Structure 1
Amino acid sequence: MDERGDDVPAYRTIRMTTPESPVAALADIEAWKARKTYPSTLFAGGPVFGVAVERDEGGWELHPYFSGLAPQDARDSLGSHFRRLSQQAAKAGDTDAEAEYLAAGDRLDWERLDEMTVRGCRYRVVRAERFIRMGPDGPEPPRDTDPDPGATGRAGEALDPAAGLVIDPVHATGVSEGVLRVELLAALRKGGTVPADVHQDARTAADTHPGGVLLPATFMTAEREGGRWRPDSSGTATTPQSARDGLAMQLRVMVPWQKDLGPSEREIYARAADRLDAERLDELDVAGRHFRIVRVERLVRIGPDGPEGPRPSDADPTPPVMVQDQQLRERGVFTGDDGPDVQGAEGLGDDATADDGGEPDEHTQRFIRLFEEERRRRDAVRDRAADGTDGSDGPGSV
């Protein structure tokens, strides 16, 4: 259908305007410069999922931490939200609301539901596609205008920039963001590069949800190997510092554990992590390896009924928690105080097995030791910062 002028629905339009604040204007200029420095836009792994609630005044408001790597992650988050609302209702003495919210949370423990209406509010699991910009020197790092609150090792305490964002095509955007939305809405994975059902679902979504809204960027770590860049598997850090904290954890815990490093080799990675903490770096070289903190764009598609939910082809391997529990009990695996004894651990992986005394194997115990060592280190840094005895010159110093 040829839609023109006033006949074009809001979800198929992109309203662009001059930014109202100096910060927004600077961000728009930075975004336009990024188009020249990092001219290519590539898919950044699979989609991410979060929760949104429809507003009476229009649009859908996002819940915090839009970071699920599968739809079930968002469903679990929604179930937790209903339980919190149930507790609040109980404190307020509203027994009807308490029961309804609790029943909604219990239902999500058993069913794969991507939309629910509870006490007159419509909730939906929402899908966002992810992209990175690439240039001659690799993927785009964080921009100066990207919010980066939170001290080193404590970035997870910072608020999610996307929390409370309203998905509504009526809201105007800057020119740079508007142009990027047009480009990303036209981006489809090429046939033959993904399974046929993934390709077909993408084509269908372009028809059913032709509009779109950009969420605040997230961040991931990428490593350059042999001239190519390999991103990590998540890319869901809400701030650059949160991604740096994740990389520091890898250097102090995961790499020594996975590579079974000795004390001298561990020290090399630990010193690199210390430097990353102290200088809030977006590039890091260690032991012949090169890491970069990378900026990730997220696009939510919009149709006549609001934001796009999960697609049939989206990976969703984990069932709801009570279904998992039931499956484990049917296999004879102990899951609680009233469950059967463990009859076997097939399918759980060698690293998850325990010896006859119930103790984790040595490989797992080593991970636990490394993790606890890092936890104690971060707690000590936090205590020194609270006492003002860390000698830091700023919130990001260690």
Structure 2
Amino acid sequence: MPAYRTIRVAPVVEPVAALADEEAWLARERYPVLMGFRPVFGAAREREEGGWQLLSSFGAPTPQSARDGLASHFRRRAREAQEAGRQESSAACQAAAERLDWEVLDELTVLEERYRVVRAENVIRAGRDGPEPPRPSDPDPAEPGAANRLSDRTEGFVLDTVIPTGPSEGILKAELLALAHREGDPPQVREDARKAAVSHPGGVLLPPVFLFAEKEGGAWRSETGDGGSPQEARDALTMLLRVLAPAMQGLDEATRTVYREAADRLDAERGNELSFGGRHLRLVRVERFVRIGPDGPEGPRLSDYDPDEPVMVQDMRLRAEGTSAEEDSEDEDPEFAARVEMLQRLTEEEMARRDRRDEG
């Protein structure tokens, strides 16, 4: 059997890894339902020794966002090569960035290395009481307000099916490989999922991410973007409560006070649940899974949401229509300007508050 179709399982000896494997097994019993939702995207480089290595900032919401991130990667490499006096390397990387500004490219070769936009499924476990929260073994070392200083756990992560996993993770891989599509998906989405199960029958689990979801009636919906650790998700929620919601939603002073007190409580308790103002939110653990085929990781599917054009194509279209991206961004709306001013002020206050906490 080809290596990309295998799930290699090895005994877990190291104590922390053994605990994580045991928790994963218990999660299957308490949260038996696997629910997939929106995919995310990033970029990877093929390794000469086998497998593909993820670049930084994996988790873009659309393929084009990942292409833009790859263009930024090549611009950074072009600058570094220029500073080191490697003119040919600098020119090659700059040319790759400019191609991505104009073309919809999900794969390209630069300096004899292959790069690809990679697709990952987001999946959560759920049980009778809702989605699975973080596990005790999930790393959560940062203090409140400082999670963004941690290194990105996906940067440099190697996608390679020959790397062995623990028994529970191996079972999860098998379950996710069988999870072809969600109930209620449109026909094109279901068809693409069926094709992917054939063309990319292997898989690799990425480090989990975390987000806050709000319970509304009998359903849960995401309230924050995902973070690489539980504390990063908490920091995102406190930023939402102290800064974004007051500025962009025009909250009255009484509601702002309720939100601010909820954020303070979350900082103090570092919990997984938060109730305030008739709302209830939970910190949710999200598994990420990349399908692997004979030629490496799966790229974007035709049915994936991808509304944006490459940046220069978009700019050229706007100029042809008599506008530009800068002119289109705001129209001297007094209400909009006031909200932007409040957003800037509250952001500065929150950053100063976090700095004082660090110093204290």
Match of 1:396 in 2: none
Q: Calculate the TM-score normalised by the size of structure 2.
A: 0.95
Measured against aligned partners, the alpha-carbon deviations of 1:286-309 in whole angstroms (never above 9, x if no partner) come to 101001111111110000001000
1:227 CA drift (Å): 2.7
Match of 1:76 among 60, 68, 72: 68
Match of 1:334 in 2: 324
Q: Distance in 1 between matches of 2:142 and 2:217?
A: 34
Measured against aligned partners, the alpha-carbon deviations of 1:308-366 in whole angstroms (never above 9, x if no partner) come to 00011111111111011101101111346xxxxx5xx6xxxxxx652xxxx3431x234
Q: Distance in 2 between matches of 1:204 and 1:132?
A: 23
Q: Distance in 2 between matches of 1:90 and 1:290?
A: 52
Match of 1:162 in 2: 154
1:231 CA drift (Å): 2.0
Q: Distance in 1 between matches of 2:325 and 2:171?
A: 51
* Matched-pair contact (CA < 8 Å) for 2:315–2:324: no
Q: Distance in 1 between matches of 2:339 and 2:142?
A: 27
Any unmatched runs of 5+ in structure 1?
A: 1-7, 337-341, 346-351, 391-398
Residues 301-320 of structure 1: matches in 2 within 5 Å? 301-320=291-310
Match of 2:172 among 166, 173, 180: 180
Relative to structure 1, the CA distance from residue 335 to residue 229 in structure 2 (aligned partners, 3 Å threshold; closer, same or farther) is: closer
RMSD: 1.7
1:361 and 2:334 equivalent?
yes
1:29 and 2:2 equivalent?
no
Match of 2:256 in 1: 266
Match of 1:38 among 15, 22, 31: 31
Measured against aligned partners, the alpha-carbon deviations of 1:31-79 in whole angstroms (never above 9, x if no partner) come to 1111111111111x21000111011100001112211110011111111
Relative to structure 1, the CA distance from residue 126 to residue 329 in structure 2 (aligned partners, 3 Å threshold; closer, same or farther) is: same
Q: Distance in 2 between matches of 1:269 and 1:163?
A: 34
Amino acid at match of 1:333: T
Match of 1:223 among 192, 211, 214: 214
* Matched-pair contact (CA < 8 Å) for 1:54–1:122: yes
Q: Which has the higher helix share?
A: 2
* Matched-pair contact (CA < 8 Å) for 2:242–2:350: no
Match of 2:197 in 1: 206
Match of 1:18 among 4, 11, 16: 11
Q: Distance in 2 between matches of 1:273 and 1:382?
A: 13
Match of 1:61 in 2: 53
Q: Calculate the TM-score normalised by the size of structure 1.
A: 0.87
Q: Distance in 2 between matches of 1:138 and 1:372?
A: 36
Q: Distance in 1 between matches of 2:147 and 2:348?
A: 17
Q: Distance in 2 between matches of 1:322 and 1:168?
A: 35
Q: Distance in 1 between matches of 2:57 and 2:19?
A: 26
Q: Give the count of matched residue pairs.
A: 360
Relative to structure 1, the CA distance from residue 124 to residue 295 in structure 2 (aligned partners, 3 Å threshold; closer, same or farther) is: same
> Secondary structure of the equivalent of 2:190?
helix
Match of 1:286 in 2: 276
Q: Distance in 2 between matches of 1:335 and 1:235?
A: 25
1:274 CA drift (Å): 1.0
Q: Which has the larger radius of gyration?
A: 1
Residues 242-261 of structure 1: matches in 2 within 5 Å? 242-257=232-247, 259-261=249-251
